[in-house]
Amino acid sequence: MKIESYPDTSSSIEHLTRMGWNAHFQARAESLAGDGASPARVVGVSKNSFRLGDGQSEWLASLAGRLKHEADGARPVTGDWVMARDSLISGVLERQNVLSRGASGARGSQNARPRHEQVIAANLDAVFIVCGLDRDYNPRRLERYLTLVYNCGLNPVIVLTKADLHDDPTLFVGEVEELALGVPIHLVSAADDDGLVALAPYLSPGRTVTMVGSSGAGKSTLVNRLFGRAVQLTGAISNHVGKGKHTTTSRDLIVMPQGGMLIDNPGIREIAFWEVDSGVESVFPEIEKLALGCRFADCSHINEPGCRVLEAVASGELAEGRLENYRKMKREMEYLAQRQHKSAERVEKERWKDVALQVKALKKRR
């Protein structure tokens, strides 16, 4: 069932390329192409259905029976490439990357340990960390988002929006530059289009960008402004309608007039980590460098003598809040790494148990 189609004369591969199709997916699709299925990109997800697009039309589809039983992490997300025949998805193509976070069972509790992975979006060229220059502005939260994005091996771009609320919004840029070394920072306003042209290069044809940020940061307003008309619900209305309650699948991945694609996300309430990588080290390079000067190699920079990091805090060279945030995220990474190590050990044990059983069976047969 097509819900939308656009008349066009170019070939289907050209349309797919515009949606981000490339050699990586082409190679994977060939092995799955069998039963007349063809590639499409997931542009929206709801509980039981997926909105697919191939650059020519959009339609709703559901998962083939055997895919329904796959682990949660394998369920298609917005940005995924799938093989589909009519309204049935028969396979998900290996992702090039994903933005994912940890999700705890208990909703809302800030310090709950993450229990499973929640994939936010797949196959991305950049992540816009959107922060409103109102009460949403929070340097420590920006550091957390940066760590999350780096841990997933993705490219962060900071978008400071609602610049129109301040006489001199560049003060914020100065502060953010110090905490986000080497990260592109863009000051924009969706109220008067200020700075928006600078975002166009991220949205060149075939490229996909996802946005993250709190609810109310100004993400959907930004989509609408960049698009040139209202394609996403904003403000009070969007909160009221509430994504989860929607019965029809709404579109999250939007093909923009600039040629690229922008994924709007509902606000993330809790930024929990899942992937363990060197995100913390990338976000806090100056602390890592200072730590080399500590007397003890395993210094925790809390109260050790000869701690170079604490010296830097005392002299005003390093902000205490930044150090605290660094330590907190380090601890979270250690916890995750330990647990993943443990579950790897368990897998290994299970494997040996299997081998032992097989050996036993062999012996019996003799």
Ligand X SMILES: Nc1nc2c(ncn2[C@@H]2O[C@H](COP(=O)(O)OP(=O)(O)O)[C@@H](O)[C@H]2O)c(=O)[nH]1
Q: Which does 199 bind (CB under 5 to 8 A by kind): Mg ion, ligand X, Zn ion, none?
A: none
Residue 331's Cα: distance from chain center in Å? Answer: 22
Scan for tokens 């790897």, then name that residue.
344
**If binding is defined by CB under 5 A, does position 265 make contact with Mg ion?**
no
197 Cβ partners below 8 Å, 6+ apart? none
Contact of 108 with 270, CB cutoff 8 Å: yes
Q: Tell me: is residue 162 an annotated ligand-binding position.
A: yes
User: Do residues 1 and 87 touch, judged by C-beta distance below 8 A?
Assistant: yes
36 labelled as ligand-binding? no
Q: What is the DSSP letter of 165?
A: G
For residue 105, how many C-alpha atoms fall within 13 Å in the half-sphere facing its CB?
A: 1
Only one of the segments 4-12, 16-24, 215-223, 353-361 lies at the binding site for Mg ion (rule: CB under 5 A); that segment is 215-223
CB nearer to Mg ion: give 141 or 327: 141
218 annotated to bind ligand: yes
In the bound state with Zn ion, the residue whose beta carbon lies nearer, of 110 and 303, is 303
* Radius of gyration, CA atoms only, the chain: 23
34 is in an annotated binding site: no
Residue tagged 């995220």 (tokens): 329
Please check whether residue 265 is in contact with residue 210, taking contact to mean a CB–CB distance below 8 angstroms. Answer: yes
* 152 neighbors 100 (Cβ within 8 angstroms): yes
| Shortest Å distance, C-beta 350 to Zn ion | 40
Instruction: Verify binding: residue 19, Zn ion, rule CB under 5 A.
Output: no
By C-alpha distance, which of 116, 119, 76, 125 is closest to 98? 119
Contact footprint for ligand X (CB under 6 A): 161-162, 164-165, 189-191, 213, 215-221, 234-235, 238, 267
Piece of 67-75, 145-153, 235-243, 345-353 that binds Mg ion (CB under 5 A): 235-243
250 is in an annotated binding site: no
Residue closer to ligand X by CB (options 175, 194) is 194
The conformation of residue 251, written as its DSSP 8-state character, comes to P
Q: How far is the CB of 262 from Mg ion (least distance, A)?
A: 12
Q: Is 341 annotated as a binding residue?
A: no
294 is in an annotated binding site: yes
Q: Which does 309 bind (CB under 5 to 8 A by kind): ligand X, Mg ion, Zn ion, none?
A: Zn ion
Which segment (49-57, 212-220, 296-304, 316-324) binds Mg ion by CB under 5 A?
212-220
What number of helices (H) and strands (E) belong to the chain?
11, 14
Among 220, 224, 249, 258, binds Mg ion (CB under 5 A): 220
Q: Does 287 bind Zn ion (CB under 5 A)?
A: no
Name the token pair of 22. Answer: 């490339």
The interface with Mg ion within residues 7-26 (CB under 5 A) comprises: none
Give the C-alpha separation, 331 to 122, whole Å: 27
| 309 binds Zn ion per the rule CB under 5 A | yes
* 294: partner contacted, choices Mg ion, ligand X, Zn ion, none (Cβ within 5-8 A by kind): Zn ion
Q: Given the complex with ligand X, which of 190 and 299 has the nearer CB atom?
A: 190
Burial class of residue 280 in the structure, from the number of CB atoms within 10 Å of its CB (0-12 exposed, 13-18 middle, 19+ buried): buried
- Identity of the residue, 37 or 188, whose beta carbon is nearer to Mg ion in the bound complex: 188
Element (H, E) at 91: strand 88-92
Q: Give the 3-state secondary structure of residue 166.
A: coil
* Residues of each annotated binding site: 161-164, 213-221, 294, 299, 301, 307
Contacting residues toward Mg ion, per CB under 5 A? 219-220, 238
Annotated binding-site residues for Zn(2+) read 294, 299, 301, 307
- Binding footprint of Zn ion on the chain (CB under 5 A): 294, 299, 301, 307, 309
